[in-house]
Structure 1
């Protein structure tokens, strides 16, 4: 989302090592409709193509229509060295004064491109398709360079990074949009890119029968929705595996409900398409299709940033066709999904960046809850309070500490971000929007006879999006609290899932760390055969659903400031100490009971399934 996008832009683009490119053997590929010349990366022994067009520009009369195949252009070889133009950006509310309109918002509607990172000798290699996050309003392919990640996994697979329409351009919805175009245009773009992979990935040495789709935040939510696409009737026609990291599930209204319709009419008003003359001569939809792109881009961002705190105005809807049900219905009640394998995760502190940090009393908590979920009734609010209200013996002087998940105090009442009613709201939003969707996905895949694995990223500050930087950077960046052992482990866990269909690390992979300075690292829980399948029946001290908790121990505590949404956040981290007597920073993994985790998270997720019709999830 916006924080993750900005943080990634700051951190991920910092090279961790010198990278060299060949000027002699740069590869050329022929896609039938066009030829592209990429670049050979000698450091990673990869052919890299950036900015390959997968659809025709969705402009003019193609706004809010299904994506179309690119026009044939074989007159010359197209350079595929530079990153493609980003799609127009729309950010979350409230407005951020640090966002510059020209550099941070404006984009190009002609943005349906993708990047490919392929080993130079790839032959029938499995494929990872990455869908970026950003609240369905922000983000681009530029931020996600997979060259190092693929190389960490011995160049055993190909990575494809796609772009899709964002904000009002990708997720405008109303009855008129459904009549004259398509809601969820951005999801259709993703699916069209997957069809492109099926048709063309063999040219790069990829195997179209071994595709895994992956994403974080809205990207994780996107792969969740693609897993639900067309009622879960597509099987493995487009992908086999799904990796959903912090799958983002905002309220999912029906395409013609009042909230998406209000955003539609607000866009029309800002664009000058809601006038008496317009109503009598041309439809609002037709007017919007002919409106200048800069007007629409500014309007989309304005509407999004002046909406509900922490939210985006334009997000996926239930359209009765591509997305036929709310996730609680299709995943938790009557499981039906595409794909056969799942790896899913959440972070310890997902909620704070999306919740106003001004909640001090039960009244504040209930006011925020009614605003966020306006369909909740007095009786359903009572049910919520029975699960999320503070215990009678709660001590408001408790320290701001992160939960260990196993023993009180739990994240229901305290974290490094807040305590009391503030933390109750932080945790509630985290569970409804990121954590429980991860549980429901794992439940759905397991219930259908598929395989599912789950983990939690708990390395402080364990905020939303904090797991992406180590996932892409293997070499430790100075001043961060994740050593190279855990970075490599995270990357190999994902790589193992893509290549082998199982995230567990082999004994040979574990042996790579023997003799390292981080001799106290404990990676036992992520070993092959140790990491339990979801619903695998752990027995003993564990419940029915086991997951891996990934964390670090040791180091020296530091507090760093991060500004977001007009607030200064103090983020607690643990970094390597400078003294010989400082405890070393070491990776720690353990198998835990996901059902009893955080004082009974499973029961709270069951509550939200029951309240699905009231929270529109």
Structure 2
């Protein structure tokens, strides 16, 4: 029996939504959902829609399964579903569970009202494959782009729930179930998005950090044999690439048994004839959540213990091999990106000399040989005459990000920049190369350089309204930035139209225009990218706390008397391989070192 309309309206009213703001009922065949109408953005929002059965009990560490059928009521889709259990990175602090619910495989759909056959962007949230959720509202971005596409935000299993791995798990379970959840959500979009006004043949997947990394792995999924069956475009902002071990190799196996020990599933805690895996499957969820966080916060500084692995099926190889080795790819086009200073949050802030730099590199990449370290130092060593000022590089002239930033200088900056390049920037370059090389493929690249340029800064201008007060990124910048993403989703090309450029009443965004921003070509000297920045103003220092250490960061603000002009948007085309004193050479080094950092 369905929930009567008056009863449903009363429930909505009790939760803050009026009857006049109801959205149409969506019949998904297994359940029925009714969202609400957001009159500010002219969007129908459907929150907390189940796309898979609860992955609990015997479904732990198994492929996601279709939801059970329950058509006895209309489910109010007006509030976010629980987030998946959270797992922090090292050094913590460790926070015992619970921090979410294992029953967390839900999507949220934001669709312009009364439209059909719209392109779709599926947003995969970041968080190191251990944190965050899909509970955020991207309606401002849709509205900025004239309500021309739908956004679906997804949730997937995190931490040990999504990325526990070992030979033991592989015998009875499935590695990489978090990536399988992403894949399953894309299959859900193919089957059901037309009911929300979407076109399943016009899907772009997008994400930042681990969300961008997940999008990268989906581009490689099943050896690229899906081609365009699930999506045509990828947006990968600072795609996170941690060491990607073989699923049964030493490191994931060590974390597997640390996890099992913390849960109480090693020999002393096992029942008669019970395996370690069977014990974990039957364990209490709070014990599992606590163990996942406990093990991960003991990983090397800035790292998560539970991350994607090479499983030989879904993920058949390392990105350095697949992307640069001519492997087949899913999708036809990519917009990839990184930030000016992606590394400080993940780098210990106590590196003062070459020895400290070496210890840091060998801690995060323990398989490197002394010859490897020598080759790394040839490109990352700090010269004797390096400046000790805190200043952000402009990418074109000294001091470069290899030695100086607004966050650090010297060997500290060398380590911070190395981490940024190996984990975020070079993967974005490799993605650009791979899709530029694909027959019929297209590739664009940009860097967000607005100070302080830290990891995740690009989420603010993407997801917030363009007209909020902000001294560092004005309305012109925000509108242009959101339209770059929107144009890629709708047109398959991120460049701005002449009308969009003319609409900017200040600043210089013309370099993002059609005919001005070239596609990336997979040949050094032709790696064209867009440098997205705000320039002008006077230096202003703000203190941030990174890893418990105070760091002074310089940004630029207008003078109060108007004598120095305010910050304005300033977009420029640059060549990526020569950027930052030869970033292309350093990314090639890391591509060559792939076997030593990912086995």
What band does the TM-score fall into relative to the shorter chain? Answer: over 0.9
Structure 1 residues 502-524: Cα deviation after superposition (integer angstroms, max 9, x where no partner): 000001111222xx3xx2x0111
- Name the counterpart of 2:517: 531
Gaps of 5+ in 1: 1-18
- Name the counterpart of 1:489: 480
1:217 counterpart (209, 215, 218) = 209
> What SS is found at the alignment partner of 1:497?
helix
Contact kept, 8 Å, 2:84 with 2:156, in 1: the verdict is yes
Structure 1 residues 83-131: Cα deviation after superposition (integer angstroms, max 9, x where no partner): 11000000110023xx8656xx610000000100000022100000000
2:495 counterpart (498, 504, 507) = 504
- Name the counterpart of 2:197: 205
Please give the alpha-carbon distance, in whole angstroms, between the structure 1 residues aligned to 2:565 and 2:418: 34
- Name the counterpart of 2:283: 291
- Name the counterpart of 1:545: 527
Contact kept, 8 Å, 1:253 with 1:616, in 2: the verdict is yes
User: Greater CA deviation, 202-211 or 360-369?
Assistant: 360-369
Please give the alpha-carbon distance, in whole angstroms, between the structure 1 residues aligned to 2:562 and 2:179: 52
Please give the alpha-carbon distance, in whole angstroms, between the structure 1 residues aligned to 2:139 and 2:188: 21
Equivalent residue runs for 1:333-344 within 5 Å = 333-344=325-336
**Shift of residue 22 of structure 1?**
6.1
Please give the alpha-carbon distance, in whole angstroms, between the structure 1 residues aligned to 2:269 and 2:447: 55
**Shift of residue 366 of structure 1?**
0.8
**Shift of residue 278 of structure 1?**
1.8
Please give the alpha-carbon distance, in whole angstroms, between the structure 2 residues aligned to 1:576 and 1:197: 46
Contact kept, 8 Å, 2:23 with 2:45, in 1: the verdict is no
Contact kept, 8 Å, 1:29 with 1:37, in 2: the verdict is yes
- Name the counterpart of 1:34: 31
Q: Do structure 1's residue 264 and structure 2's residue 256 form an aligned pair?
A: yes
**Shift of residue 560 of structure 1?**
2.6
Contact kept, 8 Å, 1:218 with 1:247, in 2: the verdict is yes
Gaps of 5+ in 2: 1-15
Q: Do structure 1's residue 111 and structure 2's residue 100 form an aligned pair?
A: no
Contact kept, 8 Å, 1:479 with 1:575, in 2: the verdict is no
2:146 counterpart (141, 149, 154) = 154
Equivalent residue runs for 1:315-354 within 5 Å = 315-354=307-346
Equivalent residue runs for 1:175-574 within 5 Å = 175-276=167-268, 278=270, 281-391=273-383, 393-395=384-386, 397-449=387-439, 450-513=441-504, 516=505, 519=506, 521-535=507-521, 543-574=525-556
**Shift of residue 372 of structure 1?**
1.1
Contact kept, 8 Å, 1:336 with 1:444, in 2: the verdict is no
**Shift of residue 331 of structure 1?**
0.4
User: Greater CA deviation, 578-587 or 70-79?
Assistant: 578-587
Structure 1 residues 530-586: Cα deviation after superposition (integer angstroms, max 9, x where no partner): 11111188xxxx921110001111234323333343233333222344333231220
Please give the alpha-carbon distance, in whole angstroms, between the structure 1 residues aligned to 2:419 and 2:152: 31
**Shift of residue 480 of structure 1?**
4.2
Equivalent residue runs for 1:38-187 within 5 Å = 38-96=35-93, 101=96, 106-142=99-135, 144-187=136-179
- Name the counterpart of 1:7: none
Please give the alpha-carbon distance, in whole angstroms, between the structure 2 residues aligned to 1:68 and 1:106: 23
- Name the counterpart of 1:608: 590
- Name the counterpart of 2:11: none
Contact kept, 8 Å, 2:95 with 2:293, in 1: the verdict is no
> What SS is found at the alignment partner of 2:294?
helix
Aligned length: 583
Please give the alpha-carbon distance, in whole angstroms, between the structure 2 residues aligned to 1:579 and 1:476: 23
Please give the alpha-carbon distance, in whole angstroms, between the structure 1 residues aligned to 2:218 and 2:205: 9
> What SS is found at the alignment partner of 2:72?
strand
Please give the alpha-carbon distance, in whole angstroms, between the structure 1 residues aligned to 2:335 and 2:146: 20
Please give the alpha-carbon distance, in whole angstroms, between the structure 2 residues aligned to 1:272 and 1:321: 30
Contact kept, 8 Å, 2:344 with 2:546, in 1: the verdict is no
Please give the alpha-carbon distance, in whole angstroms, between the structure 1 residues aligned to 2:528 and 2:470: 32
Please give the alpha-carbon distance, in whole angstroms, between the structure 1 residues aligned to 2:292 and 2:306: 8
User: What is the root-mean-square deviation of aligned Cα atoms in Å?
Assistant: 1.7
